[in-house]
Structure 1
Amino acid sequence: MKLTLIGIGCGNPQHLTLEAIAAMNGADLILLPDKGTEKAALAHLREDILARHLTNPSVEIRRIAMPARRKDNGYRAGVNDWHDEIARLWAGAIAQAGAPAHVALLVWGDPALYDSSLRIAARLSPAPEIRVIPGVTSLSMLTAAHRVPLNDLGESVAILPARVLRERGWPEGAATLAVFLDDGSTLAGLHDDCRIWWGAYLGMEEQALMAGRLGDIRGDLAATRAALRQRHGWIMDLYLLRRG
């Protein structure tokens, strides 16, 4: 079996590459994750992308109800168990579709940046032939929206989840941090003189941006984030940090 992981960007159907569109239309089966009512907007965006770009009527579409990740057994154990369950669901859906030769998944952003599709695909047996179509990343969307370069002149960048920043502190030697997967608690522990560029729902109609000295906007940013999460039922955000 051939399995293609297609990066679809951050919610704007215009950000799909020509390669991504061709891969969608060349598949026999496309699997769509269903994350429930809380993240129904993400499912609707994938459906909008298919409505705009899928022109091959023979491509079958199957939705998969995604399981919730357990949080009572430690982070890594919980994630590994979760990935095992998702791989079983993928395999079951593929078998129910008659074991098609070419299966595709639409991956939010890019399959290589804080996405687990490649790790889940590696659990399938027999091992499929995997192809990756890169997509526009939320990180590139953030820097474009704020019109700011990712790196300072001649300086390094560290890309990390907020959990690592909270537990280990600012990585040695990194002038800029790109921080993903924050639950809203990390910024309270950072120095006021940090410069921050923050974005949520990047590329979508709901896009929200804030930037400035962290000590000046920390409260407004936390309030804005909470209000957006309340309004939409979910939030996807990230930010750049530089020391002042």
Structure 2
Amino acid sequence: MKVHIIPCLKDNYSYIIHDEANDYACVVDPSEANPIIDFIKKKNIQLKYILNTHHHYDHVGGNELIKKEFDAKVIGFNNDKERIPFIDITLEDQEIWSSDNFTAKVFHIPGHTSGHICFHFYKDNFLFTGDTLFSLGCGRIFEGTSEQMFNSLKIIKSFPEETLIYCGHEYTLKNAEFCLQNDPSNSELIKKISKINTLVKKGEPTIPSSLKEEITCNIFLKAKDVKMFSKLRDLKDNF
């Protein structure tokens, strides 16, 4: 499997998971339709599925047109089916979805929204975290609680360290500044920031990062308890 990063809107990323063996594809969180449609047509591959991590418009805005264009099936969380537009297939927490050569396990990770999920393509070491975990950051808490978000991040931390994290936005540089302010002696973080700056100067995505890097460098994943996490989240909201 190969993951293609598709920039959308101002700072969103959508992801096309391409099964090169048969030229089938899924798209994760299509913010808008045209960049996805253009890529699929240019590559002459068959888009079969649309995977949504949560209902926010900048993650589902392309569902309707992409579905119409390619007759793709929309997949989302069963408990959020009323808010995922044009949904066809609903999945439960910790359910394994397998179709064609695609296999992913779904995990309910509330906090940013009540119905947020991630897709763990465990055979490929890909994890699509939407707006729960960013590189060097985490999502704002809109519908959930600090405890829910803290526990959701604990779920993500339990995956293998070599897992590649594909998140919903290009927020890494700003997140890095916050992490450095609160963890200034972290040598691994300083090394990562150097790599981030090089990528940004080239106009390249800073995504994916490995879970090992995030555990080592992401201040939110270093929080020991809900109280510490909540304080960090409040500080970041006003950063």
| Same fold, TM-score > 0.5, yes or no | no
Normalised to the residue count of structure 2, the TM-score between the two structures is 0.36
- The higher relative CO (CA closer than 8 Å, separation ≥ 6) is in 1
Normalised to the residue count of structure 1, the TM-score between the two structures is 0.35
**Larger Rg computed on CA atoms:** 1
